[in-house]
Structure 1
Amino acid sequence: MILTLSHQKGGVGKSTIAWNLALEFSKFLPVTVIDLDMQRSMSAANRIRTDKGMAPLDICHFGDADEFVHYIEKDHEGRLTIIDSGGFDSSFNRIAIMASDVLLTPVSDKPFDLLGLQKYEEILEALSGFQEKTIKTHVVLNNLNPALRNFGDVMEFVLMSEYFELMTSVLRQRVDFSNSVGVGKSVIEHAPQGRAALEMKALCKEIGEILNIL
């Protein structure tokens, strides 16, 4: 099974969400993370985790597209692969999109994020034409102001597109997200009763149901 955090725009929260999902799902099934992000944020967090004596994630990188495709061809139901794609358009990221069982795209309510989502829709449309089937991504509202209750502009754009499906889960701006990564933990490990942990648990449950692994 392949789950890809995908968006051609950087800074939307792909690595943070991928990190948390990988640590939570690895509690009950084998998980491999493919770090395609040029900043390799997950790999850095994993080193912190290792240095602190906690069980690290299985993270791998690929030097060329052929190695990446070879890994994908060996994909099977008994393992979950989580791909943290980079915040740019590339052959690696397009391969990940087409190979995935589930795509997850974080987006906030900020204007530049909405513009980026329009560009990402164009990429999905092009790849859908190539595969001759509609490629959809699950859009999760992320990094929202805790006081914000009206997501009208984002929801309207997402719901109008045949390439987007809006998730029920919402992740808001919480200091626990950054603090937990800084100590090599998931937000659920770091502050299990906090609001950020509760939001992440809800997202894990929703994705687990989509992947049929819960």
Structure 2
Amino acid sequence: MILTLAHTKGGVGKSTLAWHIAHGLKQTDKVEIVDMDFNQTLYYINRIAGSPFTVHQPRNVAELYDLISRTTHDVTLIMDIGGFDSDLNRAAIRHSDHVIIPITPDRVTEVLGFRTFDAILSELDTIDTKFHILFNNIHASTRNFDKFKKAVKGERFTILKSAIRSRKIYYSTMGNGQSVFDSIGNVSAQTEIMELIDELRRA
């Protein structure tokens, strides 16, 4: 499976989500990370963590295609692409099984940025790719997402039932090279990530 975290806007939580999803999947699957973000966040966090994952950094489309062709079916590739448009990012999206688009729905800039992303996707040949909107960094008191669903509605996308709440633990553990699965005190965050993984597996 190739799972890509994507959005044309930076700072929406792609790298953070990719890191914790990788740790959630690692409990049962072989996982490798593809870091194509300009900031190389996952590459450096992985080094801080003692390199629990193989992290690939393809520099061009040819290197990405070579990586994908060499990846065996028992490996899940998690790709974190930068918040910008490029041939490399488009190639990653085009060859993904699932693309997660994290959006904090009460941030207007992210919703508007999503519209730009949607326009880019309309130019790609993505017959087999499934696109999912994930409400991310949601305030604990938010329960009704109806107005946000209308803002991002489109034929291309499904809105995931899973949602990731705003929790300091996602960032504090990552900053130490850990994940929410490294501590027994992070049950709520662990549950959110595993519910997201389970929903993607059923999709």
Q: What residue is the counterpart of 1:71 in the other structure?
A: 67
Q: What residue is the counterpart of 2:124 in the other structure?
A: 127
Cα distance, 1:157 vs structure 2: 2.7
1:157 aligned to 2:129?
no
Unaligned runs of 5+ in 2: none
Q: What's the TM-score once normalised by structure 2's chain length? A: 0.92
1:141 aligned to 2:138?
no
Q: Which structure 2 residues correspond to residues 1-214 of structure 1 after superposition, within 5 A?
A: 1-50=1-50, 56-109=52-105, 110-128=107-125, 133=127, 135-158=129-152, 160-210=153-203
Cα distance, 1:134 vs structure 2: 7.6
Whole-angstrom distance in 1 between the partners of 2:163 and 2:184: 18
Cα distance, 1:66 vs structure 2: 1.1
Higher helix share: 1
Unaligned runs of 5+ in 1: none
Whole-angstrom distance in 2 between the partners of 1:156 and 1:79: 36
CA RMSD in angstroms, aligned pairs only:
1.7
Matched letter for residue 127 of structure 1: L
Cα distance, 1:193 vs structure 2: 4.1
Q: 1:191 to 1:45 in 2, by over 3 A?
A: farther
Q: 1:44 to 1:141 in 2, by over 3 A?
A: same
Whole-angstrom distance in 2 between the partners of 1:37 and 1:146: 29
Tell me the number of residue pairs that the alignment of Structure 1 and Structure 2 aligns. Answer: 202
Q: What's the TM-score once normalised by structure 1's chain length? A: 0.88
